[in-house]
Structure 1
Amino acid sequence: MSSIAFIGLGVMGSPMAVHLAYAGHDVTGYNLTPDKYGPLEAAGGSPAGSIAEAVAGAEIVCVMVPDSPDVRDVLAGEGGVFANAKPGALIIDFSSIRPDVTIELAGTAAERGFRLLDAPVSGGEAGAKNAALSIMVGGSEADFAAAAEVFDHVGKTVVHVGPSGAGQTVKAANQLIVASNIQALAEAVVFVESYGVDTEAALEVLGGGLAGSAVLEQKRRNMLDRNFAPGFRIDLHHKDLGIVTAAARESGAVVPLGSLLAQLMASARANGDGGLDHSALLRGVERLSGLSDT
């Protein structure tokens, strides 16, 4: 079993760290807010008072934080991983960030004697809790193989997709597809309701045909109950669609639907829905349809 530091114990990071602790690894966690340590401690892990304390002696460092600046601060900032981890440590960044930032940080990591994998995940809070995440990994094949002892305990579908930055590129594509599905489902719900159809029955039969999807299965209850407690916040999906549109512009790819989705997600945030689950795109469709005052 390995000594693992886990930086970022939020909605996704906490259950992932817990799985690693229950698997027998020596897990030390660090989070900016200290009220997140309970589940990890209950699983046998330990809290740390700083990143430096968490990574001291760790063979593997896992990172799960919201955005590119956060990853840069955790890894390259004063008191961060690069300044305090032992040489040769394997760093696995589970965050979803810009591919170009990942490539830059991977180069810096190599210069400092570290190994860095970009390993963004898909599956949301449910996937993290059930150790059923889909993990798309960029970096060297050797480092990917070395990370198997971590991936095996947090993911279900784990694929090496290419060199550094490739994981983040595939994750951006994932977020484009997920947002498209959520928006289409939201529009379908409002459409069938406008005709007085039994929406629950409609979604049941739609889920059994070609229209069925993981999004329909996982998000139908949110929309039926109008319960948008965050599993994956609109704020974060807004960030991800910004990555999609910026990266597409740089590569010359044309993503007209992605651009529209980015605007719809931005509208949701502007209307105060940023802290809600991304299934709350339904509220945007209702606003456009004149069905909501909020």
Structure 2
Amino acid sequence: MEHSVAFIGLGAMGYRMAAHLPSTFKDVRVWNRSFEKAEAHSAQYGTRAVSLQDALQADFIFSCLPTSKEVESIIYSNNIKTGAIWIDCTSGVPESAKNLARYLEEKNVAFLDAPVSGQTIGAENATLTFMIGGQREAFDRAQAPIQCMGKLIQYVGESGAGFTVKAVNNTLLAAHLWAAAESFSLLKQQGVNLEAALACINASSGKSGVTENILAQRILNQSFPKTFALALLAKDTGIATDLAREQRLPIPMLALTQQFMQAAHVSDQDNSDFSAAVKLYEYMSNIKLEQ
């Protein structure tokens, strides 16, 4: 039996992710609020630009939207195919995932919270990491379409678990980013060659994803290419800290990181890349992070 797949939300990630589906599925439907983007995707990749109602009648429904609110708005106000599996790649709120899973279960629809990591290059190359929460049986049935887009596909627990892992991951990214900004400003102030120092650190215990993949490519050359919005990073750190506060966990470092990300987002231009958060520290220190 041929299954149909729909992809809702053709932003920077979704546009590239959906491009891999026609290699495995004949019936791939795409919808975007700006419908001309869906039409462009159809022309470029052989998908089918459809109405939202047609997209919601697919067997597998992917969504990749800015926040859980947009996903809730669609699900709560439309009819979805009975027996479908909804795979939400939004970096969403865990409590929302739990509520949507319960709501859809009553309609015989499974919901997986399935955020991704790997940025636009990972979406382009189908090497994304999927961290997935929800029913294990639905996870097993959804393997084929997810594998079109991902390299590591990990089941992490019940509904909400995927969103929780993504929020924690991005909060760690933010903490590493801010710590790198402080540390490399100190190195520059001391007259150290930053590229040489970076090579040493990346062969030592101080390395992180930021030092290996972000500093040289985005910050030390002051390019800050837009791939993942600073506003979304600030949102994700907020999700993590809200969860911790609900559980009354002491989180002095995470809370401070979230405050820095929120301040950086508010102080910088709209649609800035997440790496541009270091501009706030450049302003605070009066040291520009470039070699």
**TM-score bracket for the superposition, by shorter chain length:** over 0.9
Verify the 8 A CA contact 2:129 2:152 in the aligned structure 1: yes
- In 2, distance between residues paired with 1:217 and 1:11? 23
The equivalent residue for 1:59 is 59
The equivalent residue for 2:129 is 134
Measured against aligned partners, the alpha-carbon deviations of 1:198-231 in whole angstroms (never above 9, x if no partner) come to 2222222211222222222221210011111221
1:245 aligns with 2:247: no
- In 1, distance between residues paired with 2:219 and 2:145? 34
Measured against aligned partners, the alpha-carbon deviations of 1:217-263 in whole angstroms (never above 9, x if no partner) come to 22121001111122111100111111111111111222211111111
What TM-score, normalized to structure 2?
Answer: 0.93
The equivalent residue for 2:254 is 258
Measured against aligned partners, the alpha-carbon deviations of 1:169-209 in whole angstroms (never above 9, x if no partner) come to 11111111111111122222322222232222222221122
Change (3 A) 1:260 1:4: same
Question: Superposed, which structure 2 residues align to 1:1-294 within 5 Å?
Answer: 1-37=2-38, 38-48=40-50, 50-56=51-57, 58-77=58-77, 80=78, 83=79, 85-220=80-215, 221-291=217-287
Q: Structure 1 residue 23: deviation in Å?
A: 3.1
Verify the 8 A CA contact 2:59 2:84 in the aligned structure 1: yes
Please state whether the residue corresponding to 1:211 is helix, strand or coil. Answer: coil
Verify the 8 A CA contact 2:119 2:227 in the aligned structure 1: yes
Please state whether the residue corresponding to 1:258 is helix, strand or coil. Answer: helix
- In 2, distance between residues paired with 1:248 and 1:105? 21
- In 2, distance between residues paired with 1:188 and 1:277? 20
Measured against aligned partners, the alpha-carbon deviations of 1:104-160 in whole angstroms (never above 9, x if no partner) come to 011100011211111111111122112111111111111010111022111111111
- Give RMSD over aligned pairs: 1.6
Give the number of aligned pairs. 285
Q: Which amino acid aligns with 2:85?
A: L
Verify the 8 A CA contact 1:273 1:280 in the aligned structure 2: no
Deviating above 6 A after TM superposition, structure 1's stretches of 4 or more consecutive aligned residues are none
Q: Which amino acid aligns with 1:111?
A: E
Unpaired runs of 5+ residues, structure 2, are none
Deviates more, 1:103-112 or 1:217-226: 217-226
Unpaired runs of 5+ residues, structure 1, are none
Q: Structure 1 residue 274: deviation in Å?
A: 4.5
Measured against aligned partners, the alpha-carbon deviations of 1:79-112 in whole angstroms (never above 9, x if no partner) come to x3xx1x2100111011111111110011100011
